[in-house]
Amino acid sequence: MTHSLHTATAIREETVPGGGHASFILKRGQILRLTDIEGGANVSMMMLNAHEKSERLNLPDTL
């Protein structure tokens, strides 16, 4: 099953203030979309594989 980013139904929506954080499980096949509604923001993200602890992705302060 293929989803377009523009037609995919949101299963979670959250507003995170500057300096804030969020934590949740993103399952295989789900899409993560980050939207800066005011402009000029960046994100620092760390993702971990819950089933393989040595598999992780760290994206420090990306623009």
pTM (whole model) above 0.75: no
Q: How far apart are CA 56 and CA 50, in angstroms?
A: 9
In Å, what is the CA distance from 24 to each residue of 13, 18, 21, 48? Answer: 11, 18, 10, 11
What is the percent of the chain where pLDDT is above 70?
83
DSSP string, the chain: ----TTTPPPS------TT--------TT-------SSSS--EEEEEE-TT-TT-EEEEEEE-
* pLDDT at residue 62 is higher than 60: no
Q: What confidence tens digit (pLDDT) does each residue in 16-43 have? A: 888 889 999 888 888 888 888 888 888 8
